[in-house]
Chains A and B, each alone.
Chain A
Amino acid sequence: MIEAHHLTKDYRTGTHALKDVSFGVEKGEFVFLTGPSGAGKSTLLRLLLRADIPSSGDLVVNGRNLARLNPTQVQAYRRSVGFVFQDFKLIPRKTVFDNIVLVPRLMGVPEHQLRRRATQALTEVGLAERLNALPLELSGGEQQRVAVARALVSEPLLFLADEPTGNLDPVLSLEMMSLFRSINARGTTVLIATHDRALIRHLGKRVITLDHGKLIDAR
């Protein structure tokens, strides 16, 4: 599903965010991406979302080299990826429902299907009753779950999350992880960036470890 070949990402400031990182993730796998702050986890996720391109090396997802996509293909690729951002990236003036169905609605999905999909996704994250709330009326944890629901609504092939439990208490974190496992059980490839060691141990899944932009372990 994901093939990273000698990925390097340098910034103009001279910072080396990633240095010669190579790894692979199989279709349907559940993988944790971990490492201390500044390890390059968020950079790698940005590359996987095609919000950035590597300075050198190749990143191939589902057979497509992300650096070679044109702007329209980039948007189509992003629609095939469910991404949960660390800062949620919800549109404040839109309701939970409108945030969740925004892209499918623009793609012409009929309204009754949108409602069904949104209700289903919100039920999975335990927020079915907050359909008409505005993001600012929700707690940080609730906003995070709305972001997860938005990522789920498009039924993605690849599910990526950047510190998805950062704003959740331990009980909710475990619930969220249980949700990610059920997403993975449907055949979706899941890659979660987190520095929560306890959570990683609890789930016992494969871990890719980065430190100072270098791959330390990918077992």
Chain B
Amino acid sequence: MMALLQYSFSEAILSLRRSWRTSVFALVTTTAAVIVAATALLVSLNLREVFARLSAASELTVYLKQGASDLARERVDRVLVKADGVTSHQFVSPKDALRRFSTDVPEMASLAASLGENPFPAAFEVRLAPGADGEAAARTLTTALRETGDVEDVRYDRQVIDRLLTGLTLSERIGGVLAGVLALAAVLTITSVLRLSYQTRYNEISILYLVGAPPRAIRGPFVAEGVIQAVLGAFLAITILAIAFQTFRAHYGQVVIDAFGLSDVRFLPPLWIAGLLMLSALVGGLAGLAAAWRER
């Protein structure tokens, strides 16, 4: 087995050195495919973290009817205390709401003051427990709150997050399909390049068959060549992406961290990189096998 591996890889390296011009095409296509796949993974990795944080912090805002009494406030409070999936809730009086508005949006503070009366209703800010059943719990709670007759409106920010998550999943799928198409292009390019190499070495391969070389020894160098091309392409892609990522993080990293409340902007974990390299090796090997597959 070791003799076969050694022979396959030394022959593959020789072949790559002999026909490096055609091998460059396979390398570029593989690099492009892995860049697209790795970028999709990188964006997804960081956005998933953003959404996980937003989901964990998702809230209901319960607006009471204008001029709601203390009794009405107590009724709503009781519903919230009894409700499942509520981790905490806080009452925001119209005065507090106006003060918060003036602090958060100072340029609009004079406009609110000029209205004469406080336009903000009393409200409860309700923090929901994260989890897959959050949506159902929020719906049940909204129904119970409306049934009190004291609630004007219930705003649920998780719907927005869920819509964004759906969008992200769709984008991931599109990225996956694009990466798949490019991977197919890479496989076809590697197969074509190796097929050319097979034709170039046709006489030699015929001799190998005639003197009784085992089929695995004849196909081995092509499999090894496919593996080398694909792994080189993937390695190049990850290196390019890492450099681009470091440059981006140096210039815009803090902006992104502040904007999304992230702990850090992360690059692909080593295990994912190893997975990408192994997947590329597998795909390259299969392409090599396809190129050299001829029964005699």
Contacts and interface: CB of A to CB of B under 8 A. Distances in A.
Interface of A: 49, 51, 71-72, 74-81, 83, 85, 89-91, 102-103, 105-108, 150, 154
Interface in B188-246: 204, 206-215, 217
A106 B296 contact: no
A154 B212 CA distance: 11
Contact of B210 (A51, A71, A80, A108): A51
Given A71-B296, A91-B207, A108-B3, A77 B214 contact: no
A75 B204 contact: no
Contacts of A107: 3, 214
A49 B215 contact: no
B7 interface: yes
Contacts, number: 56
Contacts of A49: 210
Nearest 8 A/B pairs, CB to CB: A78-B212, A79-B212, A106-B217, A89-B207, A108-B3, A75-B212, A91-B204, A103-B211
Contacts of B4: 106, 108
Interface in B1-19: 1-4, 7
A105 B296 CA distance: 22
29 contacts: A51-B210, A72-B214, A74-B296, A75-B209, A75-B212, A75-B213, A76-B212, A76-B214, A77-B212, A78-B210, A78-B212, A79-B211, A80-B212, A89-B206, A89-B207, A102-B208, A102-B213, A103-B211, A103-B212, A105-B3, A105-B7, A106-B7, A106-B213, A106-B217, A107-B3, A108-B1, A108-B2, A108-B3, A154-B212
B214 A106 contact: yes
Nearest to A94: B204
B117 interface: no
Contacts of B209: 75, 78
Interface of B: 1-4, 7, 204, 206-215, 217, 295-296
A90 B2 CA distance: 25
A78 B210 CA distance: 7
B161 to A, nearest CB: 59
Given A91-B204, A106-B217, A108-B2, 10 more contacts: A74-B296, A75-B213, A76-B214, A78-B209, A78-B211, A79-B211, A83-B211, A85-B210, A89-B210, A106-B7
Contacts of A72: 214-215
Contacts of B295: 71
Nearest to A80: B212
Contacts of B1: 108
B140 to A, nearest CB: 67
Contacts of B208: 102
A103 B216 CA distance: 12
A81 B210 CA distance: 10
Nearest to B2: A108
Q: Which of B1, B210, B212, B215 has the most CB of A within 10 A?
A: B212
Contacts of B204: 91
Contacts of B206: 89
Contacts of B296: 71, 74
A47 to B, nearest CB: 13
A61 to B, nearest CB: 14
B212 A89 contact: no
B55 to A, nearest CB: 57
Given A89-B207, A91-B204, A91-B207, A75 B3 contact: no
B291 to A, nearest CB: 18
A94 to B, nearest CB: 9
A154 to B, nearest CB: 8
Nearest to B214: A75
